[in-house]
Structure formats: C-alpha cells, structure tokens
A and B are shown apart, each in its own frame.
Chain A
C-alpha cells in the first residue's frame, strides 16, 4: 500500500518568513495530493490540492509543487502570519477505483510574531 513520509515534524519561523513542508510517497500510481490544516482543537480542513497533471499550483500565499519522477511534493507558505500556526498534513491517493487517502505524520508549524 501507499506510504507517505512528511518532514519536518516541527517547524518554527518568524512572522514574514517562508515555510516549506515536504512529503514523499511510495505508490507511483498516486495522482491526487491534498494538504490539510488543523488548528488546535479543530478538524482538519483542505487548504490546497494538486493533481498529477500539474507541477505547481498557487493560492495567494500558499503553493504546492509536485515532482512525480522523484515522488515528492511540497507545501510552500510565504509571508507567514501567526494565524498560519497549526498542524499541516499532506496526503496522497490513487484517485482511481480504490482511491484511499493516505496521510503523512503531520508538521507542527509555529509562526512567532
């Protein structure tokens, strides 16, 4: 089955800096890669996703890049703000007849004012 590794487990940055979280996956058939943000005491929520026919996707201060050859994808947050502090999870799925989402272990991001 799919295995998703996420790094780093914790990340601390100063407000205004950029933050990068990286994930690798094992199943070359995976073609859907979402990122979820979980604030303290709340449910995980989708912030951005990318599909295998796209190499990069941006949404304001958030971007995701995908390298299918190397089987890794990354989340980039620019101009970080204290409200970006949360746990971030990457995930991967085949998106075919049996597209179970497999999550990474999570990254605790802390943005210091």
Chain B
C-alpha cells in the first residue's frame, strides 16, 4: 500500500476484554514501532521491531501488553484484560532502514475501554 495502515480505526471494548490492533507497514520497511498517545499527551514508546533482531519491549507498560510481527511485515498489538487507563490512540510507524530515515505513521487506532 501507499502508507502505513492500521485497523480498526476505532475500537470500543468492555473493561476486561482482550483487543488486537493491527498494523500493516509500508512494504519493504524493516523497522516498525508502536506508540501510545493519550489525549493531549506525547508519544509513549511501546515496542520496536527491527528486521530479525529481538524486539525492544522496554516500553510495554505491563504484561497485559504484547506484540508480534509476522514475516517481518504485519504487526499485531494485543492488550489483554483491558482497563480504562488503556484508552488512548495507538500509533504504528515504520521506516525503511533502521532509524536513519523518515518514520511514517499510520492514522492510529482510537481505543476506548468502557
């Protein structure tokens, strides 16, 4: 595709349910990031995938959060037993080679936990 695609664009879920957020990076991009952005706040780093290297999971806020990247392309962020404080916009970004080129962001998934 032409850009980074995320789905769904909006997700409303009940507290305690699990959710999966999907990111389709730009074809050929080896680096993929997940960020979380609460209303009016900055970009909170969650996880970083780079090629075949072990992912940097240092930003995941709890063990309820996990992410995987299959075949070096599509990534899924999973939040188990969602809590109200998980409500935010989840942004995915990809870049073509390591960190030295532009990172392109998806439009985000707005998650609301009720």
Contact = CB atoms under 8 A, between A and B. Distances in A.
A99 to B, nearest CB: 3
Interface in A74-113: 89, 93-106
Nearest to A102: B45
Interface stretch (B17-25, B62-70, B72-80, B104-112): B104-112
Interface stretch (A15-23, A41-49, A57-65): A41-49
A45 B48 CA distance: 19
Nearest to B110: A41
B42 A89 contact: yes
Interface residues of B toward A: which range? 20 to 34
A106 B95 CA distance: 21
Given A43-B91, A89-B42, A106-B42, A100 B56 contact: yes
Q: For the complex, would chain B's binding face be called helix, strand, loop or mixed by DSSP majority?
A: loop
Contacts of A46: 102-103
Contacts, number: 61
B52 interface: no
Nearest to A42: B107
A32 B95 CA distance: 13
Given A43-B91, A43-B108, A101 B42 contact: no
Interface string B45-56: 100101001001
A44 B43 contact: yes
Q: For the complex, would chain A's binding face be called helix, strand, loop or mixed by DSSP majority?
A: loop
Contacts of B102: 34, 46, 49
Interface of B: 31, 33, 35, 41-43, 45, 48, 50, 53, 56, 58, 91, 93, 95, 98-100, 102-103, 105-108
Given A89-B42, A95-B100, A100-B56, 7 more contacts: A34-B102, A43-B107, A46-B103, A49-B102, A51-B100, A94-B99, A101-B95
Interface of A: 1, 31-32, 34, 42-46, 49, 51, 89, 93-106
